[in-house]
């Protein structure tokens, strides 16, 4: 008999065996009875919306969700739906109640960062809340707790995708020039060369990269769950993939590896044994974009920039879909339809030129050209004397000091200190420099002493 379904939707079964038909029927009857007793029982029909949502989520959804997906469900249920509709009896809930709730979310439903984004939630967030609520009410219908789903007839905000922004070739140059000055060059160069998700690039380890073949394995992601960094498998099966790095990028990473003494390719500035926090990467990108005089884009727009440039330079959809980790090529086509439309126009113009020998304006060669080298000069701040290290501000409350002297064997060793003010960071950096100079002197003395 079927006793449930796994996280892939496949049935889970239990069997009974016996020597006779009668004995087998008896065992099966006992198994069915035992299974009914063990099945979780929903609350009674007099329950509230809050009681049903909690039962539905804890019983049917939570066991099969990844930690970050759990957070999304819990935010929708316990921060939005329950406070607004929770006290209403489930069998008294109406379409009007739900429609009014969605309207309120659009007007003043935002709980955090209102000064930055406004008081109302985005269309996409409201639709996400509806998706969760609708699924919970559908289950109540199947359990015969309510006769129909009152959210079926609600009007939802439009499903238009968030506007995609990409950096121009000139902006990419300025971004990388400033990133080199701000100590984030390797990470942003790799991102613009691969289109990895922010959590994926932060979770890379050196063992994931084969310097001989240039193959980079993407097999984990890092994200925050209830304030703690968590490393897990990629979000989908297609996200577990490999990417071949261009030779120039590989050379940059090879040099960069000498400066890093961690298994993580981009370790946390606060803990060498931990990956970098994706939130810190987002904040650092914002600062670099401002200093490079680039338009404000999300980190995810760097992924769009890579994909757009790849298509414009002739990469086929199937290859791009595999590289960026989409489940299917249809997803890639939907996201980058505007790019492929332009490619089709260019292809049509080339066919027309080749067959009809047309001399219209469509004959203009629209193939991407190598941009002119940028003359942008990076923001450097106050210049420091050689041998005194460098200091940079990570965020409003954190400063980073870095000293990377060359060791007697010719390699470089980089160490960092952190403080909550620039003055404290300068003091810690000075102490670090004294300590490291003593260690280097001791190493040099040891090399000169005969065995």
Whether 243 and 314 share a structural domain:
yes
* Domain containing residue 67: CATH number: 1.10.150.130
**Residue 151 pLDDT more than 60?**
yes
Residues in the chain, total: 451
pLDDT at position 39 = 53
Q: Assess if residue 43 is contained within a domain.
A: no
pLDDT band at 256 (very low <50, low <70, confident <90, very high): very high
pLDDT in tens, 89-111: 999 999 999 999 999 999 999 98
pLDDT digits (tens, 9 = 90+) for 153-163: 999 988 776 67
Give me the pLDDT at residue 10, please. Answer: 47
* Cross-strand partners of 205: 264
Give the chain's domain count: 4
Q: Are strands 209-210 and 215-218 parallel, antiparallel or unpaired?
A: antiparallel
Q: Is the pLDDT of residue 201 over 50?
A: yes
Write down the residue that tokens 């590896």 correspond to.
257
Does some domain include residue 58? yes
Whether 225 and 327 map to the same domain: the answer is yes
Confidence of residue 404 (pLDDT cuts 50, 70, 90): confident
Q: Which DSSP letter does residue 121 get?
A: P
- pLDDT tens, residue by residue, 415-436: 999 999 989 999 999 999 999 9
Indicate the pTM of the whole model.
0.67
For residue 17, the model assigns a pLDDT of 81
Higher pLDDT, residue 385 or 139: 139
Instruction: Give the dihedral of Cα atoms 403, 408, 409, 412; nearest 10 deg.
Output: 10
Q: What value does the mean pLDDT take over residues 134-142?
A: 95
**Do the bridges between strand 11-13 and strand 209-210 make them parallel or antiparallel, or are there none, so unpaired?**
unpaired
Residues 403 and 436: beta-carbon distance below 8 Å: yes
| Residue 186 scores a pLDDT above 60 | yes
How many CA atoms, within 13 angstroms, populate the side-chain half-sphere of residue 197? Answer: 20
| Same domain (yes/no): 396, 336 | no
φ, ψ of residue 180 to 5 degrees: the values are -65, -35
- Cα 261 to Cα 271: distance, rounded to the nearest angstrom: 11
pLDDT at 231 over 80: yes
The answer to the question of residue 163 being in a domain is no
The residue that leads in pLDDT, 13 or 263, is 263
Q: Are 418 and 434 in contact (CB under 8 A)?
A: no
Distance in angstroms (rounded) separating the CA atoms of residues 135 and 92: 18
pLDDT of residue 212: 96
Q: Using the 8-state DSSP alphabet, how is residue 375 labeled?
A: -
Domain boundary among 118, 153, 188: 153
Residues 69 and 115 reside in one and the same domain: yes
Final residue of a domain: which of 153, 182, 206? Answer: 153
Please write the tens of the pLDDT for every residue from 51-73: 999 999 999 999 888 877 888 99
CATH label of the domain that carries residue 193: 1.10.443.10
Clarify whether residues 300 and 173 are in a common domain.
yes
Let me know whether 311 and 349 are in one domain.
Answer: yes
Q: What is the mean pLDDT of residues 224-234?
A: 85
Cβ atoms 231, 203 nearer than 8 A: yes
Average pLDDT of the chain, as a whole number: 86
Which of 186-190, 394-398, 416-420 ranks highest by mean pLDDT? 186-190
Q: Residue 1's pLDDT is what?
A: 57
Same domain? For 140 and 284 the reply is no
**Does 373 reside within a domain?**
no
Q: Are residues 329 and 220 in the same domain?
A: yes
Q: Do 199 and 322 share a domain, yes or no? A: yes
pLDDT at 362: 46
Specify if 161 maps to a domain.
no
Task: Dig out the tokens for 79 from the structure.
Answer: 């921060």
| Euclidean distance between CA atoms 192 and 324, whole angstroms | 12
Structure confidence at residue 368 (pLDDT) = 58
Q: Which domain holds residue 426?
A: 390-448
DSSP alpha helices (H): ranges in 258-298?
Answer: 278-291
Instruction: Give yes or no: residues 434 and 305 share one domain.
Output: no
Whether 347 maps to a domain, the answer reads yes
- Regarding whether 142 and 256 lie in a shared domain, the answer is no
Give a yes or no: residue 325 inside a domain: yes
Residue 22: strand, helix, or coil: helix
Confirm if 181 and 380 have CB atoms less than 8 A apart. Answer: yes
Sequence-distant (6+) residues with CB within 8 A of 158 are: 123
Cα–Cα dist 239/241, whole Å: 6
Q: Residue 5: which pLDDT band, with cuts at 50, 70 and 90?
A: very low
Q: What is the pLDDT of residue 339?
A: 77
Flag whether pLDDT at 264 surpasses 80: yes
367: phi then psi, degrees, rounded to nearest 5 = -65, 140
- C-alpha 192/C-alpha 304 separation (Å) is 9
- 212 located within any domain: yes
pLDDT of residue 444 exceeding 80, the answer is: yes
* Per-residue model confidence as pLDDT tens digits over 327-338: 899 988 888 877
Contact 427, 402 (CB under 8 A): no
Q: Which of 295, 291, 346, 328 is nearest to 164 (CA)?
A: 295
- How many Cβ atoms from other residues are within 10 Å of residue 17's Cβ? 7
What is the rounded average pLDDT of the residues 308-335?
Answer: 90
**Domain end among 92, 126, 153:** 153
Task: Say yes or no to pLDDT of 367 above 90.
Answer: no
- Looking at the fold, whether 173 and 316 belong to one and the same domain comes out as yes
Residue 195 has pLDDT above 50, yes or no: yes
Cα separation of the two ends of the chain: 76
- Band the pLDDT of 187: cuts 50, 70, 90: very high
Count of CB atoms situated within 10 Å of the CB of 196: 26
């Amino acid at each position: 008999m079927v006793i449930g379904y796994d996280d892939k939707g496949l049935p889970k079964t239990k069997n009974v065996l016996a020597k006779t038909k009668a004995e087998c029927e008896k065992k099966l009857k006992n198994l069915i009875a035992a299974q009914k007793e063990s099945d979780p029982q929903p609350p009674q029909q007099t329950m509230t919306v809050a009681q049903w949502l909690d039962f539905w989520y804890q019983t049917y959804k939570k066991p099969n969700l990844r930690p970050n997906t759990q957070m999304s469900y819990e935010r929708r249920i316990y921060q939005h739906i329950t406070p607004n509709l929770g006290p209403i009896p489930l069998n008294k809930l109406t379409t009007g109640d739900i429609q009014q709730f969605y309207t309120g979310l659009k007007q003043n439903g935002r709980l955090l960062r209102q000064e930055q984004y406004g008081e109302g939630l985005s269309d996409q967030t409201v639709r996400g809340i509806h998706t969760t609520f609708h699924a919970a009410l559908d289950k109540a219908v199947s359990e015969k707790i309510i006769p129909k789903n009152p959210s079926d007839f609600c009007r939802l905000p439009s499903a238009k995708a968030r506007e995609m922004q990409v950096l121009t070739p000139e902006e990419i140059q300025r971004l990388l020039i400033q990133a080199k000055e701000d100590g984030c060059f390797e990470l942003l160069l790799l991102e613009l060369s691969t289109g990895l998700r922010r959590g994926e690039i932060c979770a890379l380890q050196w063992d994931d990269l084969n310097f001989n073949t240039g193959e980079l394995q993407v097999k984990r992601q890092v994200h925050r769950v209830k304030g703690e960094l968590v490393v897990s498998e990629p979000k989908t099966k297609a996200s577990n993939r490999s990417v071949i790095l261009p030779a120039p990028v590989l050379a940059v990473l090879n040099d960069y590896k000498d400066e890093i003494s961690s298994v993580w390719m981009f370790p946390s500035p606060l803990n060498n044994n931990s990956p970098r926090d994706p939130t810190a990467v987002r904040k650092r990108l914002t600062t670099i974009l401002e200093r490079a005089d680039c338009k404000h884009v999300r980190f995810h727009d760097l992924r769009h920039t890579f994909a757009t440039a790849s298509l414009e330079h002739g990469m086929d959809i199937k290859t791009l879909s595999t590289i960026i980790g989409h489940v299917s090529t249809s997803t890639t086509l939907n996201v980058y339809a505007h790019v492929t439309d332009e490619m089709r126009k260019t292809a049509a113009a080339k066919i027309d030129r080749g067959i009809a020998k047309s001399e219209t304006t469509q004959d203009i060669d629209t193939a991407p050209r190598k941009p002119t080298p940028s003359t942008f000069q990076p923001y450097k701040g106050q210049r420091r004397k050689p041998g005194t290290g460098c200091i940079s501000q990570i965020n409003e409350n954190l400063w980073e000091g870095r000293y990377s002297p060359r060791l007697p064997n010719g390699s470089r060793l980089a160490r960092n200190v952190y403080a909550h003010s620039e003055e404290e960071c300068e003091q810690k950096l000075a102490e670090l420099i004294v300590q490291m100079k003593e260690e280097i002197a001791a190493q040099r003395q040891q090399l000169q002493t005969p065995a």
